[in-house]
Amino acid sequence: MGLVGNVGKPDCARVVAAAARLIRQAGRRVATDAATERLLHGTAEVYPDSAALARNVDLLLVCGGDGTMLRTAREIAGLATPMLGINIGGLGFLTAVSSRQLPDALQRVWSGRFTFERRTLLEAEASHAGRRFRCRALNDVVISHGSESRLIDLDVTINGDPVTCYRGDGLVISSPTGSTAYSLAAGGAIVLPTAEVLALTPICPHTLSNRPLILNHSARIEVKVLTQRPPAVLSADGEPVTELVAGDRVRIRRSRHTVRLMHLTGSSFFEALRSKLHWRGTTL
């Protein structure tokens, strides 16, 4: 079993050490990537990165938060090895198990009480200053204003058909997994993570007629930047990719690669909504 940890989190060393101990007690081998191995002081098999680790284990335990899950998902995209997220603090919508539940969670894994779920990734390609940039995202691709808090104009075409020019703080193009992240905060719909759709959500649009769009998962989205100043910023899962200026274009589509997440029996997307987003409802 592979262990990947966010070494920047104060409690990560404790959780990774506990996971390694439980794995060994079950008679199974422990392997890590090079960064996480420093937390175990040379007591595990070591591979140079998450992708190499995933090729040599049957499950990745990812200890951290949603950011750690997103990074690992991008690194192992296209590989069949599933991930099980162990949450260390924070909201942890992608991390299915609290660190306090780790012993019980591993017992359920050993006894086969789990299912797998494939999650769609996005791919984006952009051109800027004569260079081409490519990136993948599990949650979302975002085009937004940079450090200057000013409106930007973005012209959107879908499958070659002109849609509209969005004027505002930017656009979020999200996968179903990312519907509960930035897209939700910007007013987008909550989408089941297994739905075969993409979502386009404007960020603070400067007109009441601009609304979020739900698109078929085969949609090919092209965004052209119309504003020279301030420069826009392209990011993938919150990681900056490049600046964009007037005339630059970004093409976004569903990736042919997916990732597999492990879900323990008894857990569900709606249970996560109720517990993590405090979705209770009320009566008038």
CA end-to-end distance (rounded Å), the chain: 50
Q: What tokens does 78 get?
A: 């296209």
Tokens 């990136």, residue located: 135
Distance from C-alpha of 189 to C-alpha of 275, rounded to nearest angstrom = 18
- Name the DSSP letter for residue 117: E
The answer to whether 264 and 85 are in contact (CB under 8 A) is no
DSSP state of 99: G
**Annotated catalytic residue 66:** yes
**Residue written as tokens 């996480």?**
36
Identity of residue 90: G
273 alpha carbon, distance to own chain's centre: 17
Angle, helices 102-110 vs 12-25, to 10°: value is 30
* Contact between residue 76 and residue 54 where contact means Cβ atoms under 8 Å apart: yes
DSSP state of 237: T
Residue by residue, DSSP assigns 1-16 as -EEEE-TTSTTHHHHH
Burial bucket for residue 176 (CB in 10 Å: 0-12, 13-18, 19+) = buried
Task: Classify residue 133 by burial, with Cβ atoms within 10 Å: 0-12, 13-18, 19+.
Answer: middle
Give me the amino acid identity at 42.
Answer: G
Say which DSSP state 180 is in: G
Catalytic residue among 11, 49, 58, 66: 66
Residues annotated as catalytic are 66
